[in-house]
Amino acid sequence: MLRNPLLNKSSRAQSIFNRAVKHYQKQEFDDTIAELNHVLASYPRHTSALLIRGASYQQRGDVERALTNYNELLDIFPQDADAHMMRAQAHVQTGNLDGAIADASAVIAADPKSCNAYMLRGMAYARKKDYENALADNTQAVDKAGKKPLNLSTAVGNRGVTRRKSGDYFGSITDLTEAISYAQKIKYDEARYMRLSQSYGSRADAYIKEKQYDKALADLDDAMKNALRIRNLDIQHLLIASICGTRSETYTGKGEFDKALTYCAEAIRYEPQVAEFYEIRSKIYQALNDIEHTAADLQTAEQLKLLYPAKQTQVLNTPESGKPNAGRSRRNSLLFIVFIVVLGFALPLLGSTGTLLQLFSGAAGNSSTYSDYFLGQQSYEAGKYGDAVGHYNDAIKNDPKMVEAYTRRASAYAALGNITAALADCDKAVQLEPKNAAGYLARADIDQNNNDLNGALTDYAAAITANPHSGEAHYERGLLRQSINDLNGAIDDFTQTIAVIDDTDYVNEPYLSRGLALRAQKEYDHALIDFSAAIKADSSSVEGYFDRGLTYQDKQDPANAIVDFTKVLKLEPGHPQAQMMRDYITKNSAARSTPDPIK
């Protein structure tokens, strides 16, 4: 291990970069940008810093600054696929669809098998109403998706939405039904819930077009059930607005305008800067012959499009798309990807009747329950944990069996330091749905934050018993075991994680983690296999090349170590530790060994 002898001034930049990554993973974008400004002041060609700073600006809605960062990165390294994909998404947000198509085409030219790039380009064509090219790209994406249910669900669902926009409602319903069947086979919980929500919601929108309102409402209810199980609050926040918007359109079609106005008002309250919700409400007012309110909402919609153009093309984080390689995190490392670059059928916000994500509504008759639940979410995100508890209390009074309200209230109690109440809520969630891993995972998180590691291990085991396919439970337990030096147990869990999430593209993290555990056991050959597998899953994995380089150095194979550190520097020019390691090895070794066949 040669890190410590090589520490010098440049290691401080690496430390700052690592802090920025942690801020990013916590979605603290202002802090991320501030830290990366320091890194880039010393290393202006640090491509990972440029990529993550651009993504941070993009998350904040400052798309122009995001584009500036992506442009600088591509000037340094024109072949960077992540930067092309991220810039394509930014172009979509600014309405530069030709730019988005050009960037996606650049990725396709470099990698003709890129399912993600075809989906992105197809979405851009669809927004241009070039449905012929859009459907061609959608079909290419389906062909490139392989046998992975997650990719197939996204690609087929995306084609279903394009068919709906082109007026082929039967074809749309057929595709989205197929997307639902693929989504049900996804082993990874967070991805499965998200894809099912999107697929049911999108099919509901096609049913609305066919005026099959009861079928639409049934799909929207199924979408809600899945959405409420999603643990990532940012994703759920976007879905909440869609719940109300799509419900509003459904009731408008049924002629129940009071309900339509109620749900549209909820959508606007939750996402007040989204123009489409005002357009939806204007149609309701128009149906009621309320000319004054119709005009006012249309005017507001146009103003919002001018003031907040990026807000009109919001997207979700998702667990399967390409991403900036921000490094490894403890919590949600398998869940949190910087930004969707495969916008898929989750993205289109504007359209004749489609709402944000074209998703679902709340269950009929329970609007107050979900309203209280949503208010709790808002209060929690604003740091008003006491208010959040109050809103969750109201939601539970209306629906005492709402498991999600208990797990969310547990998080609020934990934030207030009331661990006893937090654990009681987790216990209640487990009691209500003992086969739902969410309650056990929430309790494990609280246990771990309170240094009750044995309790956390017990709860992870219970989560795995409840859902043997929970990749998150295996992975989080593996990280915990690794932290207490139970390396054999950690390796077993990472192996299980790899087995249950083999239907996703994002499998490099468990390979990296297992490789580190194997390296700590000095099982260098097996560690090299894992780092190589991580690189195969993500060919731009700076961490994969760096850790493999360190392993070669531990194995006294300086030639291969230099090859990997050189690759790191190509992917991330200015990477201080890679530069130091390469210089150190070059100066202190003849480096005569031959390249390893494992490459």
The pLDDT of residue 313 is 62
- Cβ pair 358, 345 in contact under 8 A: yes
- Cβ pair 224, 251 in contact under 8 A: no
The pLDDT of residue 346 is 39
Contacts of 459 (CB under 8 A, 6+ apart): 440, 441, 443, 444, 447
CA dist 328 and 317 (Å) reads 17
pLDDT score of 322 more than 50: no
Average pLDDT of the chain is 82
- Cβ pair 141, 161 in contact under 8 A: no
Nearest CA among 8, 56, 78 for reference residue 326: 56
Q: Tens digit of pLDDT for each residue in 568-578? A: 998 888 888 88
- Cβ pair 319, 193 in contact under 8 A: no
Residue span(s) of the chain under CATH 1.25.40.10 come to 79-322+330-358, 507-599
Q: CA 502, 505, 510 angle in degrees (round to 5)?
A: 60
What band does 343 get if pLDDT is binned at 50, 70 and 90? Answer: very low
CA dist 154 and 171 (Å) reads 16
Least reliable range by pLDDT among 182-191, 251-260, 451-460, 471-480: 182-191
What band does 351 get if pLDDT is binned at 50, 70 and 90? Answer: very low
**Residue predicted with more confidence, 360 or 97:** 97
The CA-based diameter of the chain, rounded to the nearest angstrom, is 85
Torsion angle of the four alpha carbons 458, 460, 465, 467, in this order, in degrees rounded to the nearest 10: 160
What band does 419 get if pLDDT is binned at 50, 70 and 90? Answer: very high
What band does 274 get if pLDDT is binned at 50, 70 and 90? Answer: confident
Least reliable range by pLDDT among 211-225, 255-269, 272-286, 307-321: 307-321
pLDDT score of 506 more than 60: no
The domain covering 79-322+330-358 belongs, at the CATH homologous superfamily level, to: Tetratricopeptide repeat domain (1.25.40.10)
The pLDDT of residue 366 is 47
Q: Please identify which residue in the block is written with the tokens 């390689």.
A: 325
In 3-state terms, what secondary structure has residue 303? Answer: helix
Nearest CA among 154, 90, 162, 171 for reference residue 128: 162
First vs last C-alpha separation in the chain:
22
Is it true that domain 507-599 has CATH number 1.25.40.10? yes
